[in-house]
Chain A
Amino acid sequence: MLRPRVGELLWNTTRLVLGTVAVCAVLGVGAAWLVERSSVPGRRLWHVLLVAPLAVPAFVNSYAWISLLPGLDTYAGALLVVSLSYFPFVYLPAVAAFRGLDPALEETARGLGLSGWAVFRRVQLPQLRVAVLGGSLLVALHLLAEFGALQMLRYPTFTTAIYDQYRSTFNGPGATMLAGVLVLLCLLLLLAELRLRGSRGYAGSGRGAARPVRPVALRGWTAPALLVLAALVGLALLVPLGSLAYWLGSGASAGLDGADLAVTTGSTLALAAAAAALTTAMALPVGWLAVRARGRIATLLERAAYVGSSVPGIVVALALVTLSIRATPWLYQTVPVLLAAYAILFLPRAIVTVRAAVEQSPPLYDDVAASLGSSGADRLRRVTLPLLAPGLGAGAALVFLAVVTELTATLLLAPTGTATLATAFWSASSALEYGAAAPYALVMVLLSAPATVLLSRDTRRGLTP
């Protein structure tokens, strides 16, 4: 009975993932090139504006669109909304990669007679591959796990189907079967990424003084480039914020319970901070080993974290519900289980940034510090941690951002009576009380904003010169 249903869900999910990854890769790499390597005016401002959509959770974005345009519950609508939410996941690593590219390579290629386009295709793109693949993987995994945005757009995928099954039969075989297919899809994706990425790392010899890159003059293309960037930012940022403002205005008349909002905000903050600290602490040894002790065990650890987190939130939550009910009933619906879910879900975000930071600080500094009489613990405090601090901070910010806006696992695992901003928003907007939902969405956006700014600045300054 479920078989045609599975086929339909598979088709829906696959075409949405492929479409979104393609759109995000084009938007992300294109915008990154404009901001990093072209003469487009106001590059710093554009950079912040292009990272800013991360502050608007996908389900808030989709609430903003669908509440204005109820006709968006189609494939095209879903593709539009999730691409606008997810393209920064490709944009950010692409910007970092562009910045890390040695301009000498491009100059050499130009010297060999390659045109600008050929330089991009044959020199820059291959070097961007790891960053773009990593970002695309994130987009695809997010999509497989996305529940709120697609549920609100009434676009059925595995995740929304599992949730509906869970709601109707609690933990029946239907939900388990769908979850199994979904997990398989995620694992397939991971395998594909593994094969595409290859085992080769890019090693630079020499860390000479950084030379500023001369941006590519756009000349007549400046206006079209500005137009494209403006359209992207307008769709990804202004539409959701405008819609939110509209619903805030119309909801204000309905009256707002300030105390409720404050309590919900407080518990969300506490949860996010605890999860960020826990997850970053777990990411540090994994990221470290992955770079410094390249080997089977390190790779296994790193991959295990990816596999664990590539499992969508709804599946992790279901698994933790089952596990805690069977094994540790006294832990069922408590904060530690919720934190465990957050750690499982968001560990790779922290690992990616921590790993990049470790790659930026070669073991040489450790050797030099050792020769100056600095013991292991002393080196950790005075050399390693300061060098990794930007990466650790970025990792923690990413996790914090993710937890503030996490919906699916929180819906299933939060202790009874504990509402987070996301769940409070969800119950209001599910009841089509768009005005009542708006304040929670606004606080989520405001809370995410500083972390987002931090994120945009970290790649701006970074450890890379």
Chain B
Amino acid sequence: MSSLTVTGLTKAFGATQVLDGVDLHVPAGSLTALLGPSGCGKTTLLRLVAGFDDPDRGVVALGDRIVVGAGRGVPAPKRGIGFVPQEGGLFPHLSVTGNVTFGLPRRQRADRARVRELLALVGLDGDLADRSPNQLSGGQQQRVALARALAPEPSIVLLDEPFSSLDAGLREETRQAVSTALAATGATAVLVTHDQAEALSMADQVAVLRGGRLVQLTDPRTLYRRPTDLDVAAFVGDAVVLDADVRDGVASCVLGRLAVAGEQPDGPARILLRPEQLRLSAPSPTALTARVSAVDFYGHDSRVRLDLPGGGTVAARLGGVDLPAVGEQVAIEVTGSALAFPAAGPVPEPAV
């Protein structure tokens, strides 16, 4: 297992600049999620690392070994990189065994015990070994694809939206199996995804890509709590964004006076709260009162949308019990501190 270092990676397809000077370091043994909306260049980045395409500029290094850039170009078969494509990409003409042992030296391909071991690693029964790929469920196909990628003990594993084609229940189960297998092998892994929940829950660090550039690289908690700008904030979770005036570390806004985390110069600003920071209670004369305009009930939790008296709406995230009714008046309290951002720039659409 080795680390992955990408420096100044640039790639254009025709006139379209897909990657624009991306720097990224993935420590050995960690799982890094590449998060971004469709078309942000994350899959291209993965393909450049794997060696399926060549970058226009920039360097990719595995550990100390430069695989592309600085006048070197190691072809894909010599890189020792495991690749798990979307929907598995299992070879249709080979059985599960044939797929899993594809990357092993010829002598080891007949080793049934090794196949069982690899299937067990991804949480699959050894009885599947003789099936053909079209006899497997989507989740099983993904796991076999991971076993196939892990079999030659690659220095790093790349996963390209491996769960996006699975339905919700299967996705969670497959995610856990993949996490477990990656942890058990201590593999360095890069996971491409456009699903922020997947990135936050699985990864050790998250790299947010936007328009071909890396906008933030940090651990999931910091990403959620201290996003680098309001766009990232709205992309990684629901956001409550309000205009405010900051004086001496306190922001005055429609929800009252809120403590601001970190250094922030005095003056007008936009502040960010997360919906779960809003608490609702019975109306009282001292607190701000708002009207409930809608309740989205999800079972495990719910989102309550509130019309503020001065105009504007905010959303609060509550538990699944004790929900207010639509039309009810409630008092809003804020827990924790707000994050302040410069006032310039358009308001991001709240993530739904």
Contacts and interface: CB of A to CB of B under 8 A. Distances in A.
A372 B105 CA distance: 10
A22 B91 CA distance: 41
A100 to B, nearest CB: 15
- 3 nearest A-B residue pairs (beta carbon): A372-B103, A371-B83, A370-B76
A296 interface: no
A104 to B, nearest CB: 14
Given A365-B89, A387-B92, A371 B134 contact: no
A207 interface: yes
7 contacts: A206-B165, A370-B51, A371-B79, A371-B81, A371-B149, A372-B102, A373-B78
Contacts of B91: 365, 368-369, 383, 387
A375 interface: yes
Contacts, number: 71
B202 to A, nearest CB: 21
A208 interface: yes
Given A365-B91, A373-B103, A386-B93, A209 B134 contact: yes
A107 interface: no
B138 interface: yes
B190 to A, nearest CB: 13
Interface in B125-146: 134, 138
Contacts of A386: 93-94
Contacts of B52: 367, 370-371
A405 B78 CA distance: 50
B80 A364 contact: no
B199 to A, nearest CB: 23
A372 B134 contact: no
Contacts of A209: 134, 138
Max chain B C-beta neighbours (<10 A), residue from A369, A373, A374, A463: A373
Contact of B92 (A369, A372, A382, A463): A463
Contacts of A1: none
Interface in A205-237: 206-210
B220 to A, nearest CB: 27
B50 A372 contact: no
Interface of B: 47, 50-52, 75-83, 85, 87, 89, 91-94, 102-103, 134, 138, 148-149, 151-152, 154, 158, 165
A368 B87 CA distance: 12
Given A207-B87, A370-B76, A371-B81, A387 B152 contact: no
A465 interface: yes
Given A364-B89, A374-B77, 11 more contacts: A206-B165, A368-B85, A370-B52, A370-B75, A370-B77, A371-B77, A371-B83, A373-B77, A373-B80, A373-B103, A465-B134
A230 B50 CA distance: 56
Contact of A369 (B75, B79, B81, B102): B102
Max chain B C-beta neighbours (<10 A), residue from A206, A364, A372: A372
A82 to B, nearest CB: 39
Contacts of B75: 370
A66 B43 CA distance: 65
Given A208-B165, A373-B80, A382-B102, A368 B134 contact: no
Nearest to A376: B77
Contacts of B148: 368, 372
A368 B93 contact: no
Given A372-B148, A375-B77, A364 B85 contact: yes
Nearest to B50: A371
Contacts of B80: 373
A444 to B, nearest CB: 34
B87 A208 contact: yes
Contacts of A371: 50-52, 76-77, 79, 81-83, 149, 154, 158
Interface in A374-401: 374-375, 382-383, 386-387, 389
Max chain A C-beta neighbours (<10 A), residue from B89, B94, B148, B151: B89
A275 B152 CA distance: 42
A465 B85 CA distance: 20
B152 to A, nearest CB: 6
Contacts of B50: 367, 371
Given A206-B165, A373-B78, A374-B77, A367 B102 contact: no
Contacts of B82: 371-372
Interface in A282-312: none
Contacts of B83: 367-368, 371-372
B327 to A, nearest CB: 37
Contacts of B103: 372-374
Nearest to A390: B93
A290 to B, nearest CB: 22
Contacts of B152: 372-373
Interface string A331-345: 000000000000000
A382 B94 CA distance: 10
A207 B134 CA distance: 11
B97 to A, nearest CB: 14
A371 B154 CA distance: 9
B139 to A, nearest CB: 12
Contacts of B149: 371-372
A426 B84 CA distance: 60
Contact of A368 (B51, B79, B89, B138): B89
Contacts of A374: 77, 102-103
Nearest to A372: B103
A386 B103 CA distance: 17
Contacts of A389: 93
A370 B52 CA distance: 8
Contacts of A369: 91, 102
A362 to B, nearest CB: 8
B33 to A, nearest CB: 20
A154 B19 CA distance: 69
B223 to A, nearest CB: 29
Contacts of A365: 89, 91
Contacts of B134: 209-210, 465
B292 to A, nearest CB: 37
Nearest to A366: B52
B93 A206 contact: no
A383 B148 CA distance: 15
A386 B98 CA distance: 13
A371 B47 CA distance: 10
Interface in A445-465: 463, 465
Given A371-B82, A373-B78, A387 B89 contact: no
Given A209-B134, A465-B134, A367 B165 contact: no
Contacts of A387: 91-93
B86 to A, nearest CB: 9
Contacts of B154: 371
A367 B87 contact: no
